[in-house]
Amino acid sequence: MQYCFLTNIIASAGVNTLSGIADWAENHGFNSLEVGPTIPLDEAAYSAVLSGGKVDISALIYCRNYLSTDGDEANTHIAELKKRIEFAAKMGVPVVVTSTGIDKSVEEGVYDRADSIRKTPARSLDKVERVFTPIIEFAEKHGVKIAFENCPLMGNIAISPAMWELLFERLDSKNVGLAYDPSHLVWQHIDPYKYIPQFADKLFHFHAKDTQIDREQLGKCGFLTDFSWWDYRIAGAGELDWLRLRDALEAAGYKGVISIEHEDSNYEGSLELVTEGLVKGRTFLQEIFE
């Protein structure tokens, strides 16, 4: 099993070169990296890490709003995504994790009962299809898989099984799938286990993150006032049943990496705390998956 982590958290804590991160990973029981956008696309640096043979690079990640109403912003993000697809192909990195974007302009003049509290993801489907069809053709040409992260806290519509069905109908390609993160499903009250079999052939990447629910606070503010009633946690410190998740992934034939996306506020604020959280997460996951 490949144990991986997303580099953003450790880079923000001060270990911000690919070689430094790879050295730390190797010394702390990780054998793969998911490289975030703060790490430069430096061919020499990537080659040095990959040629060492001890730490793999399983994915690049770049999540932005490619459907921004600011055309220059959208075009810049699309160009950066394509640059990462091309770079991934050159370096032998199989997956690029990203978001879909969301078209805020389609909400203008439209009303339904939910419009006052959130954007309606399905209204962005047409624009997602138009924008991503050539990007996916580009990825197919380069032999790279596009994995949509299912986080709602960004410009993104790939946030639920209902949306995955619609999205994969529009973007029907063997190179399009999911970076599956069950933590986002927990606070949306979506079953994080039930739909793994349905999307087994679309599981390109897996983000190992948990969610803790504060039910007393939820009872006080409900789920519309704010998000004070839940927090992301390292695996094993929240609501998820990781044995059940493991069994579902194994039954689905998932052979990819287990990548820790560390967003646990209990292990932030210093390099010591960040690395403690990563090691605790990896230790727990190894106990579960091995």
Query: In terms of Cα–Cα distance, which of 133, 163, 170 is closest to 149?
Result: 163
pLDDT in tens, 76-119: 999 999 999 999 999 999 999 999 999 888 766 566 555 555 67
Interior angle at CA 202, CA 278 and CA 82, nearest 5: 75
**Average per-residue pLDDT for the chain:** 95
pLDDT in tens, 110-141: 665 555 556 789 999 999 999 999 999 999 99
Per-residue pLDDT, 60: 98
**What is the pTM for the complete model shown?**
0.96
Q: Pick left, alpha or beta for residue 32 (phi over 0 → left; psi -120 to 50 → alpha; otherwise beta).
A: beta
> Where exactly are the structural domains of the chain?
3-289
CATH class of 3-289: alpha beta
Interior angle at CA 229, CA 223 and CA 232, nearest 5: 115
Per-residue pLDDT, 213: 98
The answer to whether 205 and 256 are in contact (CB under 8 A) is yes
Per-residue pLDDT, 119: 75
